[in-house]
Structure 1
Amino acid sequence: MTQVTYELRNNIAVLQLSSPPVNSLGLSMRQAIMSNFQKALADENVDAIVLASSGSIFCGGADISEFDGDLAFASPNLSELCDFVEGTNKLVIAAINGMALGGGCELTLACDYRIADKKAKIGLPEVQLGILPGAGGTQRMPRLAGAPLALEMISSGKPVAAQKLLEAKAIDRLALEDEALLEAAVNYAEELVADDAPLRNCADMAVDISDLPEDYFFEFRRKTSARTQGFYAPEQCIQAVEAACALPLAEGIAFEANLFRDCMETPQARAQQHLFFSERAATKIPGIQSKTLIRPINRVAVIGSGTMGGGIAMNFINAGIETVVLDLNAEALERGIATIRRNYEISAKKGRFTQAQVDSCLSLLKSTTEYSDISDVDLVIEAVFERMDIKQQVFKTLDEVCKPGAILATNTSTLDVNEIAAVTSRPEAVVGTHFFSPANVMRLLEIVRAEKTADDVLMTTIKLAQKIKKVPVVSGVCWGFIGNRMIEPYGRETARLILEGASPAQIDQALTDFGLAMGFPSMADLAGIDVSYLIRQENAEACYPRDPHYAAILDKLYELGRYGQKSGRGFYIYEGRDKREDPEVMTLAADLANELGIKQRAITDQEIVERTMYVLINEGAQILDEGIAYRSGDIDIVYCNGYGFPIFKGGPMQFADEIGLDKILAALNGYRQSLGDYGEEWFKPAPLLERLVEQNKSFKDYQ
């Protein structure tokens, strides 16, 4: 397939990138661009060159799959290509449509002039992959757009609208509303030729820092340090832009190249790139063809108008899908609908929605107390109380009411989807859709594939998840699926550490220093200690052994009515959301430890992290071995998007691969011996972990 097409329009050579879906700049594309440029340069009849795209976007950037080998650096590499384009002796005009990201953006910066569609967005998102732009982007963007905008774009990775770059003079013109971009670009090129417009080279430009405060970069670092804590690349991005302000272009590009190589060799880059590929792999289901026809979803119903039901409904409304919220309790329904309306009003006040968008969304919201009103929906999601008997009754009713072909989904977070499906006459239509709270904010959607879930039902749910801007991960059926099953040993170990003498504050600090969004004690207080207690009681026979040590401190807090933030006391004392330590918790822990024969001692932060994280990883290995998760990257996506695991570590399984499975195994066996009967019971390594260590393999190798 031709990756770049060549066309001559009068005296203008038009080169169109034609490698869908995103025109990624792999070696063959770079060679094709270079070859066609050389053809245009050799033609005496060509006065200018327009570089455009035949697809819906200009270019999504480099082909990062080449980063694993030498192809990314094979000649012409992206930096060489940009230098070549910038050094041509004919005018080059970039015509930017859709998105120009990463290397695609850098390629446009090397052109003499830029024209863009009004809806186009331009960005340098490399920092989100643990690296920085490596083809001159950190040097050319500050020269064209100014240091402040360039620094914000490069260090955050967020794309900006073409209009903003027009105002910054990094884009020279926007196509008119009724004007085709390519036609506008050719006309612009002819105009530039007629006006004898000069060639423009960033080597001839300096970054204007005359209006920057003396401490500008220091203050920028200070303001961004909180959100970049644990990440390596953002600081290198700042250093690169500082270099652009001080060095000639060639020296700045050499400096950038050194920083790029440094970033590429870091665990953070490997982690972030692992997540990038894992998110895309998660939608590929073994044994199911990618071309499987999906079912049309035009109308959705949500059963339950509580916090979860309302949040779920908002996802579909935001995607332009008419959504009916059903609740048999009319008063509860009225409150739920009012909450949804209030959420949209708050978003409008914060500038996230215009009033017109709010009105449009609310026009798609319907409510009812009658099941007969949802007989024609294409998908129904049950979001009622987490009890099997209640959910089964709902599904019996849905089976009677819903039309043939409708997908019946349950938002259960722990229960057996097979048992729910079994009460219907169409188990093939039943699937689990585990949203995370708040459902209209959290990106993760755990999709549970039951034994009889039809292939098209599963693929439709995956595609729909992407439409509502969720990150879908498919799980098999077991208690808690991927996420909550793994959180259980993590919570158990935290509770045990408190009995052994670690304070909630020490545990929280050790885990946040590790990189988690919050430690387990704070998470338990936020979610509600009563919630976890009721789940333990509901699932006692199947999931929770009757070990008296098990969650003893959590059970005691429940008995005392200390439910966390909602009651003002849990592991901590709360005044609003402000918390402080409560010495009474350690007294309770000491009394329980004495009753259970547990010796208290000083515990290091290293032991806290190892014991909580390694049992989490060990459970993940068991989940992989059982086939509950298809691949280790699926587990990492779940934990980074649903449980606050640090992105710069790439998820628990990538973290384990990075430090070495042999070290994880040795530590588990060490605690198994040192913790006596408790260690023997709870630190037994998963067979898969032992096999992989024996074979000198990683979790990533197990697919």
Structure 2
Amino acid sequence: MSVVTIARQGDIATVTVDNPPVNALGLALRQGLWDAVAELDADPAVRAVVLICAGRTFIAGADVTEFGKPPVEPHLPELVARIEAAEKPWVAAIHGSALGGGFEVALGCRFRVALPDASVGLPEVTLGIIPGAGGTVRTPRLCGVETAVDMATAGKPLRAPKALAAGLIDAVIEGDLLEGAVAFARAAIEQPLPLPVSAREIAAPDAAFWTEAEKAVAKAAKGAAAPARVLASIRKAAEVPFTEAMDFERETFMALRGTEQAAALRTVFFAERAAPRPAALRDVQPLPLKKLAVIGGGTMGAGIIAAIRDAGLPVILIERDDEAVARGLSNVAKVFDGGVKRGKLTEAQAQTLKDGVTGTTDYAALVDVDMVIEAVFEEIGVKRAVFTQLGEHCRTDAVLATNTSYLDPRTIAEGLPNPSRFIGLHFFSPANVMKLLEIVPTPETSPETLATGFALGRLLKKIPVQSGICEGFIGNRILKRYRAAAEGLVRKGVPIARIDAAMRSYGLAMGPFEAQDLGGLDIAYLQREGARAAGQDVPETLGDILVRADRKGQKTGGGWYDYVAGDRKPQVSATVTELLAAQIGPESAMSEADVATALVGEMAAEGQAILNEGIASSPTDIDLVEIHGYGFPRWRGGPMFATRARD
């Protein structure tokens, strides 16, 4: 079956693309569109052409199976130019997403129309490249340089109404897209046609605009190369003739395709696509998820509830008393109220989300729920008491999950009826924002329960990663070694501020000591103290010394750094130097680059140990955990990828 079919509605031809699942621009599709131009230009009865796609989306971008391979004719830039130069004007009828190469095809059309919920965009920077078929050269000719810069450097799409306001599309079609697009085309050919996009003028900004844009893009990119290169390509489009700008864009595109950053981002892209549906569970049917409950309405519980409500499911909140119920519901409401303040939600939408949460102290309310997620205090006795209640009141087939981050799930589930329905689901705070979900089965967890955990991940738009049972699972175990290694460098005389600066330069938002000050040094301290009380041999850390001196981080005005009231900027602390003096050697000349290499190497070494023990199933799983849970720079691919690339 051909991926391109041609039909006619009187003097309007329709070209339908059907290349599931996302109508990607593979060779067969490019060739089919190339041939369609010739056939329809040769038909005197045709006055205009509507390009539309079957399935759930317009052309959503390049064929990912061609990534990393040599381009094959017809090349996309020539195809876009061929559509633009067609004797009969083409109208792109967009539903779903027109992204990357798909949007570039639409830019080659004389007109673009879209359904209200469609989106258009140039996401290439998220793959370490820039558009390669005119995206940076045609887009500013439609919407102006400023909007083009915002779109292409961030890689974020625009919904149809905003795209219309920006000039990227010509109409929003209400109702049937094909019918509306044909009507639009028929009306358009009765009027003088606009110039092809390539022939339109660009209002070039002054030098000051580019200077500010370069600063803003560099700050947001945090070391990623593609955003600055896409900005340079748009600037070239504004300052030189179209053909010269196209050549510059294509040269830049080809140069970036083979870079380590592009390879890293491609690897992450494929890992993210695979993560929600593990191959091992392909034939396992998950249990239905229509009604959920969360035990505990603190920061974590409220975030989990918000994520579930964002997915459209009703939630029951269970707390220990009426006061705690009220506080938990208030915590949930604050999440949605924050969405209103940021312009993400209307008041009505926020109220609907709030209305879907029911609070109670009565576990009997859980009699018909499909899944319960426990998110109470990280203490084994408290958690076991919760699961005793769940075992008494929930259906025997209801999935029961713990959100523990350090405790052994097996000890939490001891004595639970039907333990095959029990699983660990480790969310990261704030749970309605952070993408990572560590899924931790016990030996008794059934395949159906495990598949249901992944189904929840898909429902909540998370990146789910399966972990075996060990202290800290995947992410917190690596974090522990990373922090210990950072303290080890301090003991060797590397200044605390240099270590943090090194990791920021590497691409993390914060270094290890700044991050501890933000979260609180006492959290890990209490875990170490608990292990010591249980008889474990836990060596004293530098952090222990600071906590015992009441330096717990920003909340106490000092941790690894000093903080001025009302200012979160860390200040190098003479007090810390004095407290740790006996533990620290002479100042080291170790460079920031060597610091980052050493610490990332420690993360990767712990990751390898995790792989060797069977806690994680692949290096990419570990990289996904670090990227989506701990802020590892995406463009470096994760510690496992980065270390392999370096070696």
What range describes the TM-score normalised by the shorter chain of this pair? over 0.9
Match of 1:294 in 2: 286
Q: Deviations over 1:434-484 (max 9, x none)?
A: 111122221211111222222222222222222222221121222211101
Using the TM superposition, give the Cα deviation of residue 616 of structure 1 relative to its aligned residue in structure 2, in angstroms.
1.0
Match of 1:628 in 2: 615
Alignment partner of 2:183 out of 183, 187, 199: 187
8 A Cα contact 1:635 1:653, kept in partner: yes
Aligned CA distance change for structure 1 residues 627 and 245 (closer, same or farther; 3 Å): same
8 A Cα contact 1:392 1:423, kept in partner: no
TM-score normalised per structure 2:
0.95
Match of 1:619 in 2: 606
- Give the letter aligned to residue 310 of structure 2: N
Match of 1:171 in 2: 169
Aligned CA distance change for structure 1 residues 579 and 485 (closer, same or farther; 3 Å): same
8 A Cα contact 2:320 2:361, kept in partner: yes
Match of 1:82 in 2: 80
Aligned CA distance change for structure 1 residues 57 and 542 (closer, same or farther; 3 Å): farther
Alignment of 1:333-372 (within 5 A): 333-372=325-364
Using the TM superposition, give the Cα deviation of residue 348 of structure 1 relative to its aligned residue in structure 2, in angstroms.
1.2
- Residue aligned with 2:7, SS: strand
Match of 1:134 in 2: 132
Aligned CA distance change for structure 1 residues 386 and 344 (closer, same or farther; 3 Å): same
Using the TM superposition, give the Cα deviation of residue 305 of structure 1 relative to its aligned residue in structure 2, in angstroms.
1.4
- Residue aligned with 2:510, SS: coil
Alignment partner of 1:461 out of 439, 453, 456: 453
2:464 paired with 1:472: yes
Match of 1:700 in 2: none
Alignment of 1:302-451 (within 5 A): 302-451=294-443
Using the TM superposition, give the Cα deviation of residue 543 of structure 1 relative to its aligned residue in structure 2, in angstroms.
11
Match of 1:112 in 2: 110
2:595 paired with 1:608: yes
2:580 paired with 1:589: yes
Aligned CA distance change for structure 1 residues 242 and 540 (closer, same or farther; 3 Å): same
- Please list every run of 5 or more consecutive structure 1 residues that lacks an aligned counterpart in the other structure: 594-598, 661-703
- Give the letter aligned to residue 573 of structure 1: D
8 A Cα contact 2:600 2:643, kept in partner: no
8 A Cα contact 2:61 2:103, kept in partner: yes
- Give the letter aligned to residue 43 of structure 1: D
Match of 1:697 in 2: none
2:241 paired with 1:248: yes
Q: Residues of 2 paired with 1:42 and 1:629: CA distance?
A: 59
2:143 paired with 1:156: no
Alignment partner of 1:522 out of 514, 518, 521: 514
Alignment of 1:663-682 (within 5 A): none
TM-score normalised per structure 1:
0.88
Alignment partner of 2:274 out of 281, 292, 296: 281
2:36 paired with 1:36: yes
Q: Residues of 1 paired with 2:303 and 2:571: CA distance?
A: 31
Q: Percent identity?
A: 38
Match of 1:567 in 2: 556
- Residue aligned with 1:138, SS: helix
Q: Residues of 2 paired with 1:25 and 1:38: CA distance?
A: 19
Q: Deviations over 1:65-111 (max 9, x none)?
A: 312222xx100121121111112111211111121111110000001
Using the TM superposition, give the Cα deviation of residue 540 of structure 1 relative to its aligned residue in structure 2, in angstroms.
4.9
8 A Cα contact 2:95 2:117, kept in partner: yes
Aligned CA distance change for structure 1 residues 621 and 544 (closer, same or farther; 3 Å): farther
Aligned CA distance change for structure 1 residues 172 and 313 (closer, same or farther; 3 Å): same
Q: Residues of 1 paired with 2:498 and 2:198: CA distance?
A: 53
Using the TM superposition, give the Cα deviation of residue 238 of structure 1 relative to its aligned residue in structure 2, in angstroms.
1.1
Q: Deviations over 1:176-233 (max 9, x none)?
A: x3x311011112222233x164374233222133xx4442211211233211130111
Q: Residues of 2 paired with 1:259 and 1:457: CA distance?
A: 48
Q: Deviations over 1:150-179 (max 9, x none)?
A: 12111111111222232333322221x3x3
Q: Residues of 2 paired with 1:283 and 1:439: CA distance?
A: 17
8 A Cα contact 2:22 2:60, kept in partner: yes
8 A Cα contact 1:572 1:582, kept in partner: yes
Alignment partner of 1:204 out of 199, 203, 227: 199
Aligned CA distance change for structure 1 residues 256 and 404 (closer, same or farther; 3 Å): same
- Residue aligned with 1:226, SS: helix
- Give the letter aligned to residue 23 of structure 2: N
Deviates more, 1:617-626 or 1:559-568: 559-568
Figure out how many residues of one structure are paired with residues of the other and give that number. 644
Match of 1:215 in 2: 208
8 A Cα contact 1:503 1:586, kept in partner: no
Aligned CA distance change for structure 1 residues 103 and 222 (closer, same or farther; 3 Å): same
Q: Residues of 1 paired with 2:346 and 2:206: CA distance?
A: 35
8 A Cα contact 1:494 1:507, kept in partner: yes
Q: Residues of 2 paired with 1:363 and 1:654: CA distance?
A: 44
Using the TM superposition, give the Cα deviation of residue 416 of structure 1 relative to its aligned residue in structure 2, in angstroms.
1.8
Aligned CA distance change for structure 1 residues 170 and 280 (closer, same or farther; 3 Å): closer
- Residue aligned with 2:401, SS: strand
Using the TM superposition, give the Cα deviation of residue 35 of structure 1 relative to its aligned residue in structure 2, in angstroms.
2.8
Using the TM superposition, give the Cα deviation of residue 294 of structure 1 relative to its aligned residue in structure 2, in angstroms.
2.3
- Give the letter aligned to residue 191 of structure 1: A
Match of 2:260 in 1: 267
Using the TM superposition, give the Cα deviation of residue 650 of structure 1 relative to its aligned residue in structure 2, in angstroms.
1.2
Match of 2:57 in 1: 57
Q: Residues of 2 paired with 1:46 and 1:571: CA distance?
A: 73
Q: Residues of 2 paired with 1:331 and 1:51: CA distance?
A: 59
Using the TM superposition, give the Cα deviation of residue 532 of structure 1 relative to its aligned residue in structure 2, in angstroms.
0.1
8 A Cα contact 1:86 1:112, kept in partner: yes
Using the TM superposition, give the Cα deviation of residue 415 of structure 1 relative to its aligned residue in structure 2, in angstroms.
2.0
8 A Cα contact 2:467 2:474, kept in partner: yes
- Give the letter aligned to residue 617 of structure 1: A
